[in-house]
């Protein structure tokens, strides 16, 4: 961590008083903000493989996943903490590449690397915690969708699942380098005043079900915008697209795109059995990725 300490000096976000090198990092919060905290595991042979993913890709993606959760709640990232259990496939060079990829995205998104832990292990496992901030009481949550709200999704779905299958082209890049929708999240909070929001990490069918469960409503959708080449299955149930799924009241003004990223209206929220999702009137099973259901 010693060499990282120097590299992260320039990244000290406003608020971070002490980074890597003591028992704890010290962060001075603003009295006007709520803090958002999320943690995500990235595991060898579950989320990535050493022979197909470079260290740089894995480091980038580890942070991107956490940032996507911050984006989903309309937050701005502040800092992250990274724990890396380095397996046999993670040479010193791989570990350097891992942190280079992570710091590349950290710099782009003004996320300070506040601390972490490293150890040797059999299987490479990375856990990342990202802390973001929103004005007090203004975080976008999953539980605010109301009957009559429209349902939207950003961008295109199924690309990551397609990339995992074909390991080629834009889809493979989408799988390895998902783009956290940070600016969109802030736009949804400040301008659109979305009623609910979350990121599509485990597949639209499962994530929309979760949003509906949290809000106590049902969803009726007509479509899922497909990544070029992706099947309907991949668009509905494929995970790791990291687009934003959100709802907005009928009176809200939602543009058809935001900075070149399409915002598709895919359906409507209705009263009904909490968590139930319908595609063109037929019940859509939640087949997205659940670690403990499909081990």
The residues binding a second copy (CB under 8 A) are 17-18, 21-31, 33-41, 43, 45-46, 69-70, 72-73, 75, 81-83, 85, 114-123, 125, 127, 129, 131-132, 136, 139, 141-143, 198-199, 214, 291-292, 295
Report the interhelical angle of 92-108 vs 55-72 (nearest 10°): 30
If the CB atoms of residues 216 and 229 are measured against a second copy, the closer one turns out to be: 216
**The token pair that represents 177 in the structure block:** 């380098």
Q: How far is the CB of 128 from a second copy (least distance, A)?
A: 9
Q: How far is the CB of 262 from a second copy (least distance, A)?
A: 22
Q: How far is the CB of 125 from a second copy (least distance, A)?
A: 5
If the CB atoms of residues 80 and 221 are measured against a second copy, the closer one turns out to be: 80
**The token pair that represents 37 in the structure block:** 């905290």
Q: Are 191 and 120 in contact (CB under 8 A)?
A: no
DSSP, residue by residue, 174-217:
HHHS----HHHHHHIIIII--SEEEE-SS-HHHHHHHHHHHHT-
If the CB atoms of residues 21 and 228 are measured against a second copy, the closer one turns out to be: 21
If the CB atoms of residues 81 and 219 are measured against a second copy, the closer one turns out to be: 81
Q: CA 160, CA 164: separation in Å to the nearest integer? A: 6
If the CB atoms of residues 10 and 24 are measured against a second copy, the closer one turns out to be: 24
Q: How far is the CB of 176 from a second copy (least distance, A)?
A: 19
DSSP, residue by residue, 55-116:
HHHHHHHHHHHHHHHHHHTT-EEEEEEEEEEE-TT--HHHHHHHHHHHHHHHHHTT-EEEEE
Please give the backbone phi and psi of residue 85, each rounded to the nearest 5 degrees, phi first.
Answer: -95, 110
If the CB atoms of residues 112 and 230 are measured against a second copy, the closer one turns out to be: 112
List 275's β-bridge partners, or say none.
Answer: none
């Amino acid at each position: 961590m010693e060499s990282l300490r120097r590299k992260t000096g320039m990244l000290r976000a406003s608020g971070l008083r002490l980074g890597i090198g003591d028992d704890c990092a010290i962060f001075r919060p603003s009295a006007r903000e709520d803090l958002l905290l999320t943690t995500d595991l990235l595991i060898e042979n579950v989320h990535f493989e050493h022979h197909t993913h470079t260290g740089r890709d894995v480091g980038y993606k580890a942070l991107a996943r956490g940032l996507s959760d911050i984006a989903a709640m309309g937050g701005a990232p502040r800092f992250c903490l990274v724990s890396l259990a380095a397996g046999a496939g993670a040479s010193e060079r791989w570990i350097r590449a891992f942190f280079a990829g992570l710091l590349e995205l950290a710099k782009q998104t003004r996320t300070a690397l506040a601390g972490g832990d490293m150890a040797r292990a059999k299987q490479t496992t990375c856990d990342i915690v990202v802390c973001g901030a929103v004005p007090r009481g203004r975080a976008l949550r999953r539980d605010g969708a109301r009957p009559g709200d429209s349902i939207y999704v950003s961008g295109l779905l199924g690309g990551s699942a397609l990339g995992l299958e074909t390991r080629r082209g834009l889809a493979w890049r989408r799988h390895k380098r998902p783009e956290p929708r940070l600016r969109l999240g802030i736009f949804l909070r400040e301008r659109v005043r979305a009623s609910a929001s979350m990121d599509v990490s485990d597949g639209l069918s499962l994530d929309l079900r979760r949003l509906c469960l949290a809000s106590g409503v049902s969803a009726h959708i007509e479509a899922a915008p497909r990544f070029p080449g992706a099947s309907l299955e991949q668009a509905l149930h494929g995970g790791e697209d990291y687009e934003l799924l959100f709802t907005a009241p009928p009176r809200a003004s939602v543009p058809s795109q935001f900075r070149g990223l399409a915002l598709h209206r895919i359906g409507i929220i209705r009263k009904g059995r909490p968590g139930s999702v319908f595609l063109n009137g037929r019940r859509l099973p939640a087949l997205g990725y659940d670690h403990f259901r499909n081990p």
